[in-house]
Amino acid sequence: MADPVTLHNGYYLIDTHAWLAQRTGERHDSYSTQLADFARCDVFDQYTPAMDTAARMQLWCAARGFALHEEVASIEHDDECLAAPVTIVLATTTSVPAQALALVSIGGGTPQVYADITDDSFWQTVGIIAITCLVGHRWSWDGGRYLYADDGTEHCVSDLYGRDASVISTCHACQAYDNGDFDEMCPCPGYAIYCPTCAVRCDVGLPEIPTMTEAPR
């Protein structure tokens, strides 16, 4: 399984599947098969312009009488922070009890249907990572000019790391190997985040979000 967050030279990418796994429950196999068959119908390609994946997912919901999100027709997240772009349509079934569904297409691929297990607002949130050192210091970062401590206070990156410095730096172990100080090569991709409080190397992942058995709308 891919790491939820990978560090690069001055930026990071969040694994799209890991991001979705926080927000979805069981995959609905029957709905997914029906939606995939519906979305690939040739008739949609005859529209000018062609009907996109989000519109096809919405139409599939409408054909079944499923209620769509009242304020946001669809949610699109590009690949600026995610490893692959994703399109989401949130809906609610007419069954009793009603089921909250998330229709998802990654990178324009075949859409799938999952149980939606989080609040609508967390579908809108993308790009934030959690930074934790072994000592226990915790931070969150959205890739911008500020780090946010566990107590909610914000701290300017330049105040913590120095002027023009990045939160993401070259791995010290990799650097030591390149300099001939270490005999064994570090297995990491070459970049790391070090705690601004204690300088210990940090673990990087996704922040926890609230989930529920079923997300009502």
Domain positions in the chain? 19-120
Helix spans in the chain (H)? 16-21, 29-39, 53-63, 120-124, 157-161, 172-178
The two three-digit tokens of residue 160, written as one number? 């913590």
Residue 67 has pLDDT above 60, yes or no: yes
pLDDT attached to residue 186: 84
How far from chain centre, in Å, is Cα 202?
20
pTM here is 0.89
Closest by CA to 34, choosing from 97, 103, 95, is 103
Which pLDDT tens digit goes with each residue over 37-54?
Answer: 999 988 877 777 778 899
Residue 216 has pLDDT above 50, yes or no: no
pLDDT confidence bin for 213, thresholds 50/70/90: low
Q: Which 3 state secondary structure label does DSSP give 116?
A: strand
